[in-house]
Amino acid sequence: MTDTSTILVLNGPNLNLLGLREPEIYGSDTLDDIAGMLEDRARELGLEIDLRQSNHEGHLVDWLHEAQATGAKAVLLNAGAFTHTSIALHDAIKGIRTPVIEVHLSNPHTREEFRHKSYVGMAAKGTIAGFGATSYLLALEAAARL
């Protein structure tokens, strides 16, 4: 099965708390708000969004594999804290041909030192960070041009 019009948007741990968790860092938009913005823009671009969130690393790995199996056009991945710890996600990204764009609401390089290393970023096609919810829209624009 090939679906080159779908952009898979994967979100890692604690992103289900967007809008509530540290709004001074992550903003007041909820994940549903972000999904709505992405769906509106994707429709204008002739694309579809499949947005998912999990607090479990293995789900994200499985979904990355699924992206290739279904022929998704690209993956936007906000791996949350797994960004800085997960060799499994790094290896999953390296193991698929589907382009992955790393996304962050905040800029990890302006935060705690442990957030400065990104295993996801080492494997991803590119990274967009620091623009709040707009980071997702910028990543969608980049994915549409791949």
Active site residues: 26, 104
Phi, psi values for residue 21, rounded to 5°: -85, 120
CA dihedral 14, 143, 4, 30 (to 10 degrees): 30
**How many residues are recorded in the chain?**
146
How far is it, in rounded angstroms, from Cα 122 to Cα 142? 18
